[in-house]
Structure 1
Amino acid sequence: MRAPLAAMLTVWPVLAAGGEFFTLDGHGGPIMDVTTAPDGTIATASFDNAVGLWPNRAPRWLDGHQAAVNTVIFLPDGRLASGGDDFDILLWERDGSAERLTGHEGKVMALAVSPDGDLLASAAWDGRIGLWPLAGGAPRFLEGHDAGVNDVAFLDGGATLFSASSDGTLRAWSVANGSEERVLVENGFGINAFHVKEEAGWLAYGTVDGGTRVVDIESGDEIADFSLDRRPILSLTADDLGRYIAVGDGEGYIMVIDTTDWSIARDFRATDTGPVWALAFSPDGTNIHAGGLDDTLYSWPLASLDEAAAMQDGAKSFLRDPDEMENGERQFARKCSICHSLTPGSERKAGPTLYGLFGRPAGSVADYSYSETLRNSDIVWNDDTIDGLFDLGPDHFIPGSKMPMQRIAQPQDREDLVAFLRRATDPETQQ
């Protein structure tokens, strides 16, 4: 039975004293975002479609999204807000229930709340910014970006909103009338993330081409450039005091910038395989929390980051050397393993287990929450339907499904995948 969210938010202890290394285990897929409440409570967003809350380092799951969760934030009134690949925003109440906010037509990538707690802003890949009254009422949408919006933040007591987009611009908007006020940054390549420290007058941003720069929030003039030959920049945050900025990239590094003299204080290889999608400081600034392809959240003491051990990626099939696999298993590792297990039980993965797949009606695994499309489908999984799924892609084979778009173009690769799945998912061969 799920514990009431009110109890979680009011009695959870701080997870760790300053300077203590720890991990949080339990997600069934990569960790896409992490955030902290003032009391140290951690919330995580994952590719496994869930929001994780971590009392005493044990997970409490908030399940409601129909696809990967990209962003999660605490609201001033103690609620949570999360956004995902299902185009929706969920507002999690204190009793554990959720209100679903709909209106975006693309993935929701970031959320921000106004200082007074009255307004929620959303950045989405439909190219729009959503403004949602948290007391209820219809949303407004700001339009003007030429590509998906990746990040948002309020300034001026909530009167101004900044947004970053894949169109390479960082723009300022009037919240009152929804008009674009100015373009602060024109980068060319997309801007994935930014963090603004209004009282200090700076904004730091990270780009698809690896740019990591700090600019004046009024003039847009460059204050510092920390761009290295690593790309893309995927996550960027700062501690509460604005002393340190942390930057995560696609090559597994976390760079820490000291804003007192604009120097690189730490440059840490956090993982040998893959990106750093999620970053947050502990409220006291002593620890940096991070997540990536691994389904474990890591928290390192900032003071000893140079000597810290990197994330341990284990034996996950999507991280194994493809040269060690036969072709069918290789196709499974590349296209399926991050979402699906081969053993009984769905293991909090983004998709259901494939155990006993052949001859099974679509939408029939008892412990998995399917989309209505698959629940009502008449598809039965066999050689032909699995081949068709990867030949056409889920968006054409099962329109309306929440399956991520995956295609395998070569017939031989599909044939080898089907043969592997027939062996690997057969209950008799696993006994």
Structure 2
Amino acid sequence: MPAPARLFRPSRPGMPAAVLLAFALSLMQGAGGAAAQEFYTLKGHGGPVKGIDVAPEGGAILTASFDNTVGLWEGGTPRWLEGHAAAVNAVHFLGDGRAASGGDDFAVLLWDLAAGTARRLEGHEGKVISLSVSPDAGTLASASWDGSIGLWDLDTLAPRFLTGHGAGVNATVFSPDGSTLYSASTDGTLRVWDVASGQEKRLLLRHGFGINTLVLNASAGWLAYGAVDGGTRIVDAQTGESLADFTLDRRPILAMDLSRDGRLLAVGDGEGYIMIIDTERGRIVNDFKAALRGPVWALRFSEDGRNIHAGGLDDAMYSWPVDAEGDEAAMAAGPRSFLEDPAGMGNGERQFKRKCSICHTLTPDGQRRAGPSLHALFGRPAGSLPGYSYSETLQTADIIWNDETIDALFDLGPDHYIPGSKMPMQRITAQQDRDDLIAYLRSASSEEGKEE
């Protein structure tokens, strides 16, 4: 790997807007003077968008959502790939008509995109947070909160698991020859692995706070990472020596991507900002508020590098030209029920908004959500609503939803009351809170067309 290029000291936002815009436009116009693309959205998910990938040849986008589905977008029209039993966190094109996804159900799914079918790869014992693929497309790496890294041979599908981190693994990236893997963890370390042997080669650095994101610019010899404390740094990929620090007063850093030419680095944080850095000049060339409320969870440059795609609390993927001035439409512009001020609600409604509404609606049509509609819930057999893909456990459960069964569900928690269902662990320990929720559900779910 070549010696890393030395970066200029980062320049902070604050240069005149006209100068900043002109500079960013010059970056994007490049050869042929092609103009940047327009702002657009991909809408249809029923939950926050947590992962994005762009096909290497362009023309297709994958999105991962809290609604348990993967969206395959070709020409702006979605196909829904359903197979996960919980929120999907990561997606990755693999070539040859295949893709991979990882989710809160501890699984990696290997998709045949034409058929819309998936093979389930199991072995992790915690959420799968991110995926990366070797340059020869022969090995898939999965980063999990069980503290391990899964290495999956994409021909045989045989797994190996690398262990050594002291907490959950959040990100991995392969070297260009596929022989080395870098990993970032909640334990605050970056580690380097030998892929052939599965052994840790060295601990590259300790940041002191959990590290969430990681990208590699192999030709320039550096890694960039983002951390829980807002740390946004570029370091020597061999020594871990700091080369540039772009840390601002925002935290945590949750998403990061490098343009395909290695020049632009995009950074998304928990306060809803997207920062774009020209890594060759060592300067922040754009920094704008992308989400009115909530975090930026996913970032990916378009294939041509002119747009930056992002996901957050909203049920859509948003895409801005990289030179956006900040006055474009923002993510999560509309109200989210789970963020509403509890002071204006009764206790039962407050319990529903905080604990149920991100997965369920109360409307007859159900919309797209991680869970089925709760409209006309009382007296309905569990697992019986047409059009929703229930787990086999719930389909065969001998349960009728009523005051007693709903009370037991939240008293014991779904994983104890209906082991094996898709429902996440969710207990309501106070009897009065359960009573108030049940009363609210009985009233609200019976009113025709009532929104949550």
SS at match of 1:331: helix
Give the match for residue 7 of structure 1: none
Give the match for residue 51 of structure 1: 70
1:151 to 156, 166, 171: 171
For residues 293 and 339 of structure 2, the distance between their equivalents in structure 1, rounded to whole angstroms, comes to 7
- Give the partner amino acid of 1:42: I
Give the match for residue 393 of structure 1: 413
1:85 matched to 2:97: no
Q: Which runs of 5+ in 1 are unaligned?
A: 1-16
2:395 to 350, 362, 375: 375
- Give the partner amino acid of 2:391: S
How many residue pairs were aligned? 416
For residues 130 and 203 of structure 1, the distance between their equivalents in structure 2, rounded to whole angstroms, comes to 21
Q: Which runs of 5+ in 2 are unaligned?
A: 1-34
Tell me if the contact between 2:273 and 2:289 (Cα under 8 Å) persists in the aligned partners. yes
- Cα deviation digits, residues 371-408 of structure 1 (max 9, x gap): 22222222222222222222332223222222122222
1:21 to 23, 35, 39: 39
Tell me if the contact between 2:128 and 2:144 (Cα under 8 Å) persists in the aligned partners. yes
Give the match for residue 274 of structure 2: 254
- Judging changes above 3 Å, is the alpha-carbon distance between structure 1 residues 302 and 358 closer, same or farther for their aligned structure 2 residues? same
SS at match of 2:343: helix
Tell me if the contact between 2:132 and 2:173 (Cα under 8 Å) persists in the aligned partners. yes
For residues 313 and 88 of structure 2, the distance between their equivalents in structure 1, rounded to whole angstroms, comes to 14
SS at match of 2:51: strand
Q: Alignment identity in percent?
A: 63
For residues 284 and 293 of structure 2, the distance between their equivalents in structure 1, rounded to whole angstroms, comes to 23
For residues 67 and 449 of structure 2, the distance between their equivalents in structure 1, rounded to whole angstroms, comes to 27
Alpha-carbon offset, residue 156 of structure 1: 4.4
**Bigger relative contact order, structure 1 or 2, given CA contacts below 8 A and separation 6+?**
2
Alpha-carbon offset, residue 430 of structure 1: 5.7
Alpha-carbon offset, residue 428 of structure 1: 6.3
SS at match of 1:386: helix
- Give the partner amino acid of 1:170: L
- Give the partner amino acid of 1:80: A
SS at match of 2:137: coil
SS at match of 1:387: helix
Tell me if the contact between 1:40 and 1:282 (Cα under 8 Å) persists in the aligned partners. no
For residues 34 and 309 of structure 1, the distance between their equivalents in structure 2, rounded to whole angstroms, comes to 19
- Cα deviation digits, residues 68-126 of structure 1 (max 9, x gap): 11100111323111111111111111332222111111111111111111111111111
Give the match for residue 385 of structure 2: 365
Give the match for residue 32 of structure 1: 50
- Judging changes above 3 Å, is the alpha-carbon distance between structure 1 residues 249 and 429 closer, same or farther for their aligned structure 2 residues? closer
1:288 matched to 2:290: no
Alpha-carbon offset, residue 411 of structure 1: 2.6
- TM-score if structure 2 supplies the norm length? 0.88
For residues 130 and 248 of structure 2, the distance between their equivalents in structure 1, rounded to whole angstroms, comes to 25
- TM-score if structure 1 supplies the norm length? 0.92
1:411 to 428, 431, 435: 431
Tell me if the contact between 1:233 and 1:249 (Cα under 8 Å) persists in the aligned partners. yes
More deviation in 275-284 or 312-321? 312-321
Alpha-carbon offset, residue 172 of structure 1: 0.7
Alpha-carbon offset, residue 36 of structure 1: 0.6
SS at match of 2:323: helix
